[in-house]
Structure 1
Amino acid sequence: MRRETAYKLAGRQHEHPVSGSGIDKERELRFKKLPPGQVEQAWRSLRLLKGLQVERRDNPLALTVRYSVLDYSMESIENALREAGFALDNTLYMKLVRALVYFCEETQRHNLESPERLIKKSNEVYVQAWDQHEHGDHDDTPPELREYK
């Protein structure tokens, strides 16, 4: 049985409240020292994106971005910057932070887009599915093969 069918049989709702906590993110973008002036240029470019807030930090090689995980992801923002020719900090620490952030945001987006899980009503799915099937002995095996002698 397909998952969507099970959810419908159990009468579960597929809509999620978008006002859930934790969908607004604040992340730090770190750049390499070379080429000079790239942080300012990235700040000007990212300001033009709707739903993305960009601020300068005390660190001259970093920017703070705020966005909703429903609209953007850190991976998409950083990939767009790399494609535009910006050089992001690629130290081991930043690689680890990126991997964790990418995984968390991807998982959160997947969970927000998927329907609710059946927790306490799972038995109702099977009861309703059983009610829709024909009942009785439908074994097509000949009687002589059913008995072991």
Structure 2
Amino acid sequence: MDTTVCARELAFRGPHREADQAPAAALLLSNSPMVEEVAVTGPNRVMVRYDLRQVTFAEIESALEELGFHLDNSMLTRLRRAYYTYCEDTRRANLKVRSNCFGHCARRIFVREYQKHEHGCRDQRPEHWRSYW
């Protein structure tokens, strides 16, 4: 069994533009190269499977929050989140894997989705003008 593959459950709560946040998040996560497997387990729950060498649960949650999803913040969920973070940080340290998120988790995890949407990170000049200095 590969010890770097993790399976975790994401829980959502609160107001959101989607009636059920889980299917929308599952659709985004399934298009990500960082996440191996996604399954909707309930109206507000998503099971994700990922390789710990590429991404952590905290980075996935941070990316979803960055995109406007409302995660469950009950006491039990916060305890579970702290436990996952501790375990994953310890396992990554033992594997000598460093985090390369640096506050850009959503862009790193959902690169394809970011490329589809208009945002201020694009160079408006034509391609042939970009090569001039």
Q: TM-score, normalised by structure 1?
A: 0.59
SS in 1 for 2:50: strand
Partner of 2:82: 99
Partner of 1:60: 43
The CA RMSD over aligned residues, in Å, is 1.5
Name stretches of at least 5 consecutive residues in structure 2 with no aligned partner. Answer: 98-133
Name stretches of at least 5 consecutive residues in structure 1 with no aligned partner. Answer: 1-19, 115-149
**Pairs within 5 Å for 1:1-80:** 21-35=2-16, 36-52=19-35, 53-57=37-41, 59-80=42-63
SS in 2 for 1:28: strand
Check conservation: 1:33, 1:61, Cα contact below 8 A: no
Whichever structure has more strand as a proportion of its residues is 2
Equivalent-residue separation in structure 1 for 2:65 and 2:58 (angstroms): 10
4+ runs of 1 displaced by more than 6 Å?
none
Equivalent-residue separation in structure 2 for 1:54 and 1:24 (angstroms): 13
